[in-house]
Structure 1
């Protein structure tokens, strides 16, 4: 699975999303905390209480190398569920990345740490630590259901999720798409038009 995840990360969110049949899009505005970062790995899911990060602390002992920590709460809100010290723990445990459907803080420290992190917001408002939530249960982020073990792919474009059982199938389709796009790019660089290569001229002019 490690090799599959590394290749999905290289191919990127847009290619993986299209290759998966446009399934699994995390349709949410995400801040890429560490510019240029990308990640992919099996999801380790955390459902926090509202505005509370107790379960993020509890999840740290379960994180395994290569996993993407997916942190949610019932309703997304600009409350910081992760800061520098939790990110330090995630990195020490070998996490491939962190997706926070809420806020993070300590932006400069997170960037210096270098662990790939994505979040809806960067805000300082702190979380409580009193509400017991759930670990390793299905969660929803940006309209996408993420179950434990599903592969989460993250880059500058945002995030997409691939069901665990489809990871190799989607990887094969994504590689094929990459090859097709490379051939198309060469033709576009030579001066041809996507308007013609995709048959779009017929759509526009054929109906006129």
Structure 2
């Protein structure tokens, strides 16, 4: 039996709003260096940056039927996350499905599979992160699940979890941790800005990060080249 769950939980709208414009690297660090999707998940065009609650969707290899089912469950601000039940590079998604998602206010697509019509998707300004680009079309014969927990590109994602994506990749934040993690994101951004000012003023990372003593303890010795 397959199932499509409706009315999924989502983070508070204010929390979702906070993540708009957030950088994947900062979010990843702020939550203890976890939640990254695999490094092969790349945006089809740059610049691209989105954040929103996940609507999750399983598809059978070479079959995009369930994406049509998932579209109905999407609300404005969501991010659709699609995972084939077995590895597949087929072109599950193109400009027509993007038009449907865009009409519902969906921010973008994360798919561990193939997409096509990338030139049109770029013109539409519809962000997509995919495993590959491939023109192979799909059928509509096999059902699977919508809004169940999935493992997409090595990351465990549940319906309503926060998904953040930019040119550096994709990261997921558990929906119940999204507010706390955002607090850590703000702290990291403030700390990084303070360090940026120091770097701009000519200070070295060796001193900003207090590295000299640790380097000496590891055995690093400075010597003049002519004395070697």
Per the shorter chain, which TM-score range? over 0.9
Distance in 2 (alpha carbons) for counterparts of 1:129 and 1:40 = 29
Q: Report the secondary structure of 1:34's partner residue.
A: coil
Q: Aligned pair 1:107/2:118, yes or no?
A: yes
Correspondence 1:133-172 to 2 at 5 A: 133-172=144-183
Displacement of 1:10 in angstroms is 1.4
CA distance in 1, matches of 2:130, 2:46: 13
Deviation at 1:49, TM superposition (A): 1.1
> How far off is 1:151 after superposition?
0.4
Q: Which of residues 165, 168, 188 in structure 1 aligns to 2:199?
A: 188
Ranges in structure 2 where 5+ consecutive residues have no aligned partner: 1-11, 220-228
- TM-score, normalising length: structure 1: 0.95
Superposed displacement of residue 173, structure 1? 0.6
Instruction: Work out the number of aligned pairs and report it.
Output: 208
1:102 to partner: Cα distance: 0.5
**Larger CA deviation: 30-39 vs 87-96:** 30-39
* Equivalent-residue separation in structure 2 for 1:18 and 1:76 (angstroms): 29
**Residue among 67, 74, 81 paired with 2:78:** 67
Partner Cα separation in structure 2 for residue 128 and residue 198 of structure 1: 55
CA distance in 1, matches of 2:152, 2:20: 19
Partner residue, 1:24 = 35
Structure showing greater Rg: 2
1:40-79 counterparts in 2 under 5 A?
Answer: 40-79=51-90
Q: Which region of structure 1 is more displaced relative to structure 2, 188-197 or 104-113?
A: 188-197
Contact kept in structure 1, 2:61 and 2:90, CA below 8 Å: no
State how far apart, in whole Å, the 1-side matches of 2:149 and 2:213 are: 45
Unaligned runs of 5+ residues in structure 1 are: none
Q: Is residue 127 of structure 1 aligned with residue 138 of structure 2?
A: yes
Aligned with residue 107 of structure 2, among 60, 82, 96: 96
1:3 to 14, 25, 28: 14
Give the structure-2-normalised TM-score.
0.87
RMSD over aligned Cα atoms: 1.3
